[in-house]
Amino acid sequence: MTLTTRNGSTRRRSDSRRLPWGSPIVYFVALVVIALMLGPVAYIILGGFRTNSQITVEPGGLPDPWVIQNYLDVLVSPIFWGEVWNSTVVGVATTAGAVALGLMASYVLARYSFRGRGLLYALFAAGLMFPITVAITPLYIVVRNLGLMNTLPGVILPQIAFALPVTVIILVPFLRAIPDEIQEAASIDGCGRLSFFWRMVLPLSIPGVITVSILAFIGSWNAYLLPLFILNNEASFTLPLGVQAFSSQYSVDTAKVLAFTSLSMIPALVFFSLFERRIVGGLTGAVKG
């Protein structure tokens, strides 16, 4: 497109600023995928505002009238809040342990050269190929031999171990991208290795730390299989186990089960939604020298 200025000269507007809308098929597929992802979540949340008769008569309908008693019954239950507390303790402890150990291991792998460094890094990378499902039986035996059955530490320690591979793989590029000149300048100023780690490495790796913290917390919050094998007492149940137990206890009260399920997954959804940009930025960003 050509534009005429006041002095009579002409200039051509760059077509590169025009955003390509693409094919409508792409948007249609994207909308279908979004609907498939959000549909079950919306159904569960709205189902908690209905009665059992409404669900039976019209399973796909909207609440008419809206019933909040199901959510109120769950919110006043001490069992629910006990499970929220257990999930919070497990999630925070798992996140703290995975980030602390992963950051120290990543610092050594990224900043120092030693024999076997590549093999050690490959070992952490190989850990991504082994989910906790394939190791559940050995983990059960180890936890039982350590006397940690039916305790929260029996869940926290294995989750830290299985969160380390992702943590190390994400943090190593961040720490490796820190310019060597910064470390040399810090060394000239009398800054030791530990001081450099606390004063320089931690602040510069904050985006990566936030990313791995979110991933570790959400993974721990939604963990089901390991707590199922380790925890047998209802007083130590986490929320995923609480949902399963509540569903068995109130199997005939579908609306209340949906309300319990909604309240159990809302914290993780809100947490992930608030820090979604942090996750994307941490996975795609890099430390600038």
Beta strands in the chain (DSSP E): 2-4, 10-12
pLDDT, the chain, mean: 82
Of 276, 242, 274, 275, which Cα lies nearest the Cα of 259? 242
Region 126-140: mean pLDDT is: 86
Q: What share of the chain is helix, strand, coil (3-state, %, to 5)?
A: 75, 0, 25
Question: Is 252 a residue whose pLDDT tops 70?
Answer: yes
Region 97-108: mean pLDDT is: 91
Domain ranges of the chain: 79-244+267-284
Residue 102's pLDDT is 92
Residue 20's pLDDT is 60
227 near 238, Cβ under 8 Å? yes
Residue 234's pLDDT is 83
Question: Is 282 a residue whose pLDDT tops 80?
Answer: no
Taken in order 90, 95, 163, 214, the sign of the CA dihedral is positive
Instruction: Report the CATH superfamily, name and number, of domain 79-244+267-284.
Output: MetI-like (1.10.3720.10)
Distance CA 223, CA 217 (A): 10
Its pTM stands at: 0.80
Distance of CA 121 to CAs 115, 159, 173, Å?
Answer: 12, 19, 12
Question: Is 170 a residue whose pLDDT tops 70?
Answer: yes
Question: Is 11 a residue whose pLDDT tops 60?
Answer: no
pLDDT tens track for 180-214: 777 778 777 777 777 777 888 888 888 888 888 88
Distance CA 55, CA 44 (A): 11
Distance CA 206, CA 98 (A): 15
pLDDT tens track for 78-89: 989 999 999 999
